[in-house]
Amino acid sequence: MLQKISEYLYESCISKETLGGGSIADTFLVTSEKGNKYVVKTGMQNSKALLCEAHGLEALRESQSIRVPNVIFSNEEYLVIEFIEEGKPQRDFFTQFGRKFAKLHQTTSSYFGFFEDNFIGNTPQINTKCDSWETFYREYRLRYQLDLLKNQGFWTQTLQLFYEKLEPTVHEVLNGSEEEAVLLHGDLWSGNFMVDSKGEACIYDPAVYYGHREADLAMTKLFGGFSESFYQSYNEVYPLKEGWQYREPLYKLYHILNHVNLFGNSYLQSATSIIKDYLKA
């Protein structure tokens, strides 16, 4: 690996160290003869995944809203990004983080989706361009995940009923919340941001697309959420529409269904609970 990375970077790389991370890829800290350090990802299941991640990081960087590692090199085998020294959070870390995240969501598009499909974990994420957020979220987020569940055998009567009532249910929940498409990180939780040497937030491991910002915020709450100051400062910069609390579980559902597809039925009860609440409403 070091020889290949050296050739790609035109710089002699002399050591590598395994970095902690998820089960999706192998991640290394590579050091060059000059003392420069790089983060290298490899070993993805799908050959397009690293290129998609690079495109997502570049889109986030172009928003000039929040720190994102610079992409140094990418192909189907390796993704090389800037190594960022970790620091201690500033006292108002989450307040500033929330403001910057709101600024990210002011990067707009004329359509929902992205120029390419990418990945949420190891699952393909369909980003077909669409004029309607309701249609996009119903078809390319919920229905796609439900179809995967059915194919894998994770199917129940509750899922079948929800599948049959998907169109009217999604319409009832999302109707009236329409906004323009904005750039989303797509998979932001506590494992996908860090504190840099200046004490500020840096985000990475995206699943980028243009969508409804409530979907991005819902994901941040899936595994415990961030500090309340993050959400307060976000709302001061870019206030949410009334009724966001009612819609939030539907946006969490996409990621929970994906976790069932990736990791098995231990997440199925959480999905079923959300679905039953909406079917009863």
Mean pLDDT of the 2-26 span: 90
Position 253: which residue type?
Answer: L
Nearest Cα neighbor of 81 from 91, 70, 90, 92 is 70
Q: Which element (helix H / strand E) includes 79? A: strand 78-82
The per-residue pLDDT for range 18-41, each reduced to its tens digit, is 997 667 889 999 999 999 999 999
Residue 163 has pLDDT above 80, yes or no: yes
So what's the pLDDT on residue 266?
93
Q: Of 26, 187, 216, 277, which one is the catalytic site residue?
A: 187
Q: Rounded to a whole number, what is the distance in angstroms from the first to the last CA of the chain?
A: 55
Residue for token pair 């498409």: 181
Q: Take residue 49 and report the two structure tokens written for it.
A: 């995944």
Q: Burial level of 175, CB count in 10 A (0-12/13-18/19+)?
A: exposed
The per-residue pLDDT for range 54-103, each reduced to its tens digit, is 999 999 999 999 999 999 999 999 999 999 999 999 999 999 999 999 99
The percent of residues in the chain predicted with pLDDT above 70, rounded, is: 99
Active-site annotation holds for 147: no
So what's the pLDDT on residue 120?
97
Please tell me the distance from the alpha carbon of residue 222 to that of residue 228, in angstroms, as a whole number.
Answer: 14
Mean pLDDT of the 163-168 span: 97
**CA 160 → CA 76, 145, 149, 156, distances in Å?**
38, 13, 11, 6
242 CB-near residues (< 8 Å, 6+ apart): none
What band does 166 get if pLDDT is binned at 50, 70 and 90? Answer: very high
Give the number of other CB atoms < 10 A from CB of residue 172: 13
Domains, the chain, in order of start with CATH, read 2-82 (3.30.200.20), 93-280 (3.90.1200.10)
209 touches 184 (CB < 8 A): yes
So what's the pLDDT on residue 24?
82
So what's the pLDDT on residue 21?
62
**CA 141 → CA 114, 189, 266, distances in Å?**
13, 18, 20
So what's the pLDDT on residue 20?
74
Letter string b/e over residues 26-65, b meaning 16 or more CB atoms within 10 A of that residue's CB: ebbebbbeeeebbbbbbebeeeebbbbbbbbbebbeebeb
Residue 188 has pLDDT above 70, yes or no: yes
